[in-house]
Structure 1
């Protein structure tokens, strides 16, 4: 997608299969239908045109409203971005930090489950995830710090999973920080190119990336 080189209209975005994902499922149930619609429209606008090039008119037109209508529900464009990025980071962490995964005793099986779930989440919500990764600079300092804490928690969760396997001998004695960074990059980088109508389903991609991740820590690795 020619991001930031050409601006896309609300109709362009609604019709573009590259901007179709499951992001509408992420919004809080206590939000009204209009608020959820505005968030979904904003996700598409930010992903296609960038946060700074997107206007409140662009977002509102995506749900057939006047530009002023956005301010009835969100005091500023930045708060729309913050809601999207905060929720995206929270849901991504929740996709792996859950009892069904933590109950897995074998370190290799646990890491496989984590990488598979995290990758599948990013594929299934690739448009939201793209905004989460690429539009952080649009946040206020206070909101950025809140999101940074979520990112630290996610990084620590992955590091713990790798360190656990190193400690119990399931994995090679790899550099935990470097290998963890590589694993996270695998799962996240797909948001630049993934499409739900592509060859791999989120689950298939998750399994493939889990296999790659385990090779990074296999006994005999020099990671």
Structure 2
């Protein structure tokens, strides 16, 4: 089976295992998107616990009661932000892998894309990482399923690289964790005021990722 086929099959299997994901509210309206954007800003500025639904509503130009038309609670808003962020990341990595012609090209694309995304969307990424513990158990489980799907994409590429002789890796799970941790950590230290652009960070981390799996 090719690298692309394995990655696609793994992602599909992950989606099947996640069939019990909690039903999400309708977030397709413009108002719902405004609320999500307002919640992201509020959580980033004040933290989850210090943010109230009134804060979120005010930033979205709505009355406090307007929040509950679309979301049952501020925790629901946090969950939707986390779910959408993880789904976007998973889909980006699958696409990056499928467009590559070899495990080396796939891993370079994955590391570049994932690192750049965490710089470009650092505010949401920080919320997803630092406020994860404030989700309900059901919502945490749903997000963890998405994280496993993301890990599976990278793990399959590393496994394929080992099989083809392109990578020298003794422990695929630990190496996968290290690669993902590198990219995710960009959200912690990135600041728009620094001179390095998200694109430059992506290229640098792509090089670092390849060095990690080809080191002798």
Q: Give the TM-score, by structure 2 length.
A: 0.82
Correspondence 1:74 to 2:71: yes
RMSD over aligned CA atoms reads 1.9
d(CA) in 1 for partners of 2:174 and 2:29? 43
Structure with the bigger percentage of helix: 2
For residue 146 of structure 1, report the CA deviation from its aligned partner.
Answer: 0.9
Task: Trace 1:1-223 onto structure 2 (pairs within 5 A).
Answer: 31-98=28-95, 101-220=97-216
SS in 1 for 2:185: helix
Alignment gaps of 5+ in structure 1: 1-28
d(CA) in 2 for partners of 1:96 and 1:168? 20
d(CA) in 2 for partners of 1:105 and 1:141? 40
How many residue pairs get aligned? The number is 192
Distance 1:35 1:195, change over 3 A: same
d(CA) in 2 for partners of 1:37 and 1:104? 36
Bigger relative contact order, structure 1 or 2, given CA contacts below 8 A and separation 6+?
A: 2
For residue 30 of structure 1, report the CA deviation from its aligned partner.
Answer: 6.4
2:104, 2:166 within 8 Å by CA — same for their partners in 1? yes
Stretch deviating more after TM superposition (206-215 or 172-181): 172-181
Q: Deviations over 1:117-137 (max 9, x none)?
A: 111122111111111111111
2:27, 2:70 within 8 Å by CA — same for their partners in 1? no
SS in 2 for 1:161: helix
For residue 53 of structure 1, report the CA deviation from its aligned partner.
Answer: 1.7
SS in 1 for 2:28: coil
